[in-house]
Every structure is written in C-alpha cells, then in structure tokens.
Structure 1
Amino acid sequence: MTLRLTDEQTEALRAAADQDGLSMQAAAVRAVEEYSLRRREQRDRLLEQFSRENRAVLDRLRDS
C-alpha cells in the first residue's frame, strides 16, 4: 500500500509522531487502528439503538 499525503499532512504526521516518540509509520498505524475502533464502536452503538427502538418489530419478524 502506498499512502500519499500532502506536504502539510506529512509535516503534521511527523510532528505528532515526534511528540509521541514514534516513527511516522507507527503513528500512522496507530491512527488507522484508532479510526477503525471508533467506527466499530459507532456501528455497535447504532445497531444496539436500532435493536432497542425496533424490538417489537424485530420480535414479530423473528417469530413469523
């Protein structure tokens, strides 16, 4: 995989990595992992909310 960043993005990544004592690679991997985790957590919250709000309909569908 090739990641293409603008000069500004590269500098922001470099600065953030330096502040955290990480390589740019490690900082990028961490960012991807954190982004993926947030998305999974958001999906799980939305599915739980949908299930709660539509419990009666889902129960009727399951029982039919």
Structure 2
Amino acid sequence: MTLRLTDEETEALRRRSEVEQRSMQEIARQAIREYTEAHGRAELLDQVLDDELPRYSEALRRLGE
C-alpha cells in the first residue's frame, strides 16, 4: 500500500513525529487503527439499532407521549 499525503499533511505528520519521538509510520498506523475502531463501533451500534428499534417502536412511542 502506498499512502500519498499532501505537503501540508506530511509536514504536520513530521512535526508530530518529532514532538512524540515516534516514527511517522507508527503515528499514521495508530491513527488508522483508532479511526477504524471508532467507525466499527458506530456501524455496529447503527446495525443493532436498525435491527432492534422496530421491535420496541410501540413502547418507545408510548414513552414519548
């Protein structure tokens, strides 16, 4: 895989790398892990809500009254 960054993104990553004394690759990989984990949880929650909310729609409607 090749990741192409803009000059600004590369410079920002380089600065972060220097501040944290970690490699640019390590920081990028961590960012990708955090992104995919966060979005994976959100997608799972959406799926559960889509599957389960219809079952409780009448109760939720009554609670809203």
Shorter-chain TM range is: 0.7 to 0.9
Q: Give 1:40 deviation, angstroms.
A: 0.4
1:37 aligned residue = 37
The CA distance in 1 between the partners of 2:29 and 2:21, in whole Å, is 14
TM-score (norm 2): 0.73
Aligned pairs for 1:20-59 within 5 A: 20-55=20-55
Structure 1 unmatched runs, 5+: 57-64
The CA distance in 1 between the partners of 2:8 and 2:38, in whole Å, is 25
TM-score (norm 1): 0.74
The CA distance in 1 between the partners of 2:38 and 2:46, in whole Å, is 12
Structure 2 unmatched runs, 5+: 57-65
Paired positions, count: 56
The CA distance in 1 between the partners of 2:14 and 2:43, in whole Å, is 31
Identity among equivalent pairs (%): 38
1:62 aligned residue = none
